[in-house]
Amino acid sequence: MPLSIFIASVASFPALTLPEGVDPVLVLFMGSGIAFTLALCLSLWALKRTGVPVYSATPWIVRIALDMLQLEDGERFCDLGCGLGRVLRAARRRAKVTATGYELNPFAILYLWALGITDFGIRVKCRDFRQADLSQFDAVYLYLLPKVMPALAEQLERQLKPGARVVSVDFPFPDWTAKEEREHGHKVWLYVMGEHRGARGESGEAAPKAESERAPEQVQGQERMEELLQPAERVPQQ
C-alpha cells in the first residue's frame, strides 16, 4: 500500500491510556523485550527449518551474479532466502523486473515489508520456498548451504521452464553442468534449464557431481560459511 495510506491508517488508531500508576517506560521496555524474544525464537526456528541464515553475499558478488543472469525488463526474478533484500533491490536497479523474495526470518520480513511500501516491484512472501511454486520465474538467485541443494535441484527441475536461468553462489548443484562460472573471492555458477545436464559450459568444465567430489576451494567456501554461522544464534548484520 502507499506510504501515505499506511501512515494514515496507523494514525487512525485510538489513543491508548494506561491505568494510573503504571510507568509507560516500563511497559514499553517489557513489550519490546517480549517482542524481541519472540522474534529471536522465530528466527532460530526459521534457521533450523530451512538451513538458510540471514547472510548476504558481498556487493561485488551480487553484481557478478546479476551480470550472469542478464535480466531484462518484464521478467520475473526470485531470491530464495532473500534476507534483508539486497539482491532484490539490486535486481530492480538492473531492469524493470518483478522481484520476489522468500523469507521466514521475522526480522527480515518486517524490514522487507516496510521496503515494499515504497517499491511496488518488490514482493516478499513469508513462506518456505521449498513449499512454493516457482514455475513463474525467469531468473532465480540463491546463496544456500550444501545440504539443501540436492532437494532444491529436483524442485527447480520440476517447476522451472526451459531457458530459465539460475545462479548459485559458493555451492554448485550436484550433477548439474554450469553454462558459465566466475570467481571473485567466491565462485558463482550460472545454469540454464534445459541445458544444465550433459553439455559443458563456457568454463570448459562440468560442475562437481557430488559434495564429496567438490574442489578444495569449494570445500574452503563451505568452511567459511560455517565459520560465519558460529554461533548459530547470531543474525549477521548487513
- 43, part of any domain: no
- 173, part of any domain: yes
Higher pLDDT residue, 175 or 111? Answer: 175
Query: What pLDDT sits at residue 145?
Result: 85
* Arithmetic mean of pLDDT, 24-29: 64
* Arithmetic mean of pLDDT, 175-198: 92
Domain enclosing residue 123, as ranges: 59-228
The CATH number of the domain holding residue 175 is 3.40.50.150
The Cα angle at residue 219 between residues 128 and 143, in degrees rounded to 5: 25
Half-sphere exposure in the Cβ direction for 122 (13 Å, CA): 24
Question: For the stretch 169-208, what's the b/e string if a residue is b when 16 or more beta carbons lie within 10 angstroms of its beta carbon?
Answer: bbbbbbebbbbbbbeeebbbbbbbbebbeeeebebeebbb
Q: Which three cell numbers stand for residue 135?
A: 514455475
Higher pLDDT residue, 206 or 182? Answer: 182
Query: What pLDDT sits at residue 160?
Result: 97
Query: What pLDDT sits at residue 82?
Result: 87
Q: Which three cell numbers stand for residue 92?
A: 530492480
* Arithmetic mean of pLDDT, 145-159: 93
Instruction: Tally the domains of the chain.
Output: 1
Share of the chain above pLDDT 90, in %: 39
What DSSP line would sit under 5-22, residue for residue? HHHHHHHTSPPP-PPTT-
